[in-house]
Structure 1
């Protein structure tokens, strides 16, 4: 039997045990950056590289509808989210999010978050020990809620922070973390839908053109206003990825601890270096292992094929550590991004392609802006890093330093 036509073993169990290394381990022996496999009972084709990124975002070849497994929708994105739409429906819904790409809005969000951070540092100075991952999540929640127009007192930011973290932390694993993620999403969708209804009824005032107001008033072309539950899903799809920057904050602290030579340059407020540092944190440290889409027709790529209704996998972690793209990819070198900005189809921790018209995360600019500003503050943070478990397990998705990166003896500026 032709080796390319032999029945493929389902590799889902290996994914659960190998984590981020699952695809890179299997693609290591391929000379064409393509691999046939089977996942969740369906034939799959795994690809990586800039050319493959363009294939992955070609809507004539692949769709998102039906591609995201229900457990991920029920935790990370929410049913009916923009991530599940294609074509005109996707473009119309994405109009909710495109203003987030504007430099002025990103700057205002950064101001809200850095203000919350500076206030938090003063409180940390009165505590024996703080865990930066946890505290960053609270800071980001407070900042993004203020920026999004969520009225003070309309939400419990501490509870919301824990729930938003739980949604991200439990999307890719069975067991208790996944159950916490489901409960967190159900709780916050109910609360946020109620808030949307109150805004629509005039019982709660939302600033004009705020994210909350835009979500409450948005109309899909075919179906009119979003139902309150879907509106809640999309508001959470602004809040949740912003709070997910806490993973990158913990990674940035980890990088500064391992390679302290970068600290001094960040302290000076060198914007170009801070941006390069943010890009390198996003490239070097693991966040999304891969992305998936559903093939519309039989798809062939570099001599391998997958039938219609199969899965196309984009190897995010593998591409961000591809020797041909980066050279010495397992060295942490922010300077690699001082020479030139990353190409849109090269650095893909939050997807590839065009964020305005495609499926690339529109919040990527927010992530970079926030991480750039918070990395400078981390470099200036006067504290002690005690002995702790700073290992980053690649079997855990999403991963982070085991300890969450604890610090002691914080001294307020």
Structure 2
């Protein structure tokens, strides 16, 4: 068996924090190997990169999520013992519940809510001296998330709830104050959503039949028991928080439209399929998640290495999305690359790889794509704005990252009245029924 490269270090956690997103990719290039060994958080870690590695990483016979996600991430980003940490039949049962919410009708409703909220936000933004898009879209998406799931939200609460969901996301790669802000935000959100779960169960809050809030509140586990209130709360937040997190991608999308004005004209003009290719390229090109973790479920051999049960393994998300062996000229922003993409579930993995229904690929990926498409149509066709001088660069060390200026717009003006059918036509929403 060939020798797998190994870094001879006591611990590389500090280097990970200093290098950020390219940490694994840097070593893949240095070692000229898609697999290497290192030490992170005082434990041995195997790092994997590329399409073939992704296929292995998502093999449920070889890997599991048990004890793969640090407590600090569970206590900020996703919640303690949430679906992302589960394996086997329990995970499959819980995942089926989430996927039951991703129906054409449900996604069509979300598309309509996005259209309405963009139009309403435009009216407010026209009265503002400047609009900080990253912050304003968090509010917009929070309104959409609550309306879509059936969670009551008072207008005076919007900014607090949006900032709390954003703080949970902002904490996943953080230490110090950002981490503690995320923990405090989660505590507030869980207290709020926990009360809603209790009211739904007691019949004190009427929500629409089949709404995500009702489905999660009344979901039963494999033994036929209702989830405890804490877990139901965590899983409902796991619908709300990721929708607010789309603000990161929307802001990067606005940067791409600004730096590539031809793309804006193509979207506004309704070029066939272009907005979806543009959205996919935003998700590929701009960084969000650096890597994912699993643990070896059963001993096996692959890539010249013996994987021992219980070993922590990282899959390189950022590097795989910027791999020249997969993507031609990966450091160029080029939406047309998706015209001939083979739709492999293992090479385009901004929200995980593998199958949505049976694996750990993000259940809300379609929500992200649809919300982004509507947003890009609005930014391109239904509004005009000025982009004053500002710092649109972003750090590859900060995780998650975003443009330093958060994309400032001035003199925002709506252009005509967005018509729901037209927005869906331009975005080519596959769930639009005409």
Q: TM-score range by the shorter chain?
A: over 0.9
| Counterpart residue number, 2:204 | 203
Deviations 1:53-81 (A, max 9, x none): 11111121111011000000000010121
Q: Which runs of 4+ in 1 moved over 3 A?
A: 2-9, 152-155, 297-300
Structure 2 unaligned segments of length 5 or more: list them. Answer: 416-434
| Counterpart residue number, 1:353 | 354
Deviation at 1:404, TM superposition (A): 0.6
- CA distance 1:271–1:178, shift in 2 (3 Å): farther
8 Å Cα contact 1:137/1:161 also seen in 2:
yes
8 Å Cα contact 2:19/2:397 also seen in 1:
yes
Equivalent pairs counted in the alignment come to: 412
| Counterpart residue number, 2:311 | 310
TM normalised by structure 2 equals: 0.92
Larger CA deviation: 27-36 vs 310-319: 27-36
TM normalised by structure 1 equals: 0.96
Structure 1 unaligned segments of length 5 or more: list them. Answer: none
| Counterpart residue number, 1:394 | 396
Paired residue secondary structure (1:138)? helix
| Counterpart residue number, 1:49 | 50
Deviation at 1:5, TM superposition (A): 7.7
Distance 1:202 1:81 in 2: 25
| Counterpart residue number, 1:282 | 283
Distance 2:91 2:351 in 1: 17
| Counterpart residue number, 1:243 | 244
8 Å Cα contact 2:8/2:38 also seen in 1:
no
| Counterpart residue number, 1:382 | 384
| Counterpart residue number, 2:298 | 297
Paired residue secondary structure (1:184)? helix
Distance 2:155 2:263 in 1: 40
| Counterpart residue number, 2:363 | 362
Distance 1:308 1:89 in 2: 21
Deviation at 1:17, TM superposition (A): 1.0
- CA distance 1:334–1:7, shift in 2 (3 Å): closer
Paired residue secondary structure (1:283)? helix
Equivalent residue in structure 2 for 1:410, among 395, 409, 412: 412
Distance 1:24 1:114 in 2: 38
* Root mean square deviation, CA, Å: 1.7
Distance 1:358 1:6 in 2: 31
Deviations 1:168-191 (A, max 9, x none): 001211011111000000110111
- CA distance 1:6–1:156, shift in 2 (3 Å): closer
Deviation at 1:153, TM superposition (A): 3.4
Paired residue secondary structure (1:383)? strand
Residues 77-96 of structure 1 mapped to structure 2, 5 A cutoff: 77-96=78-97
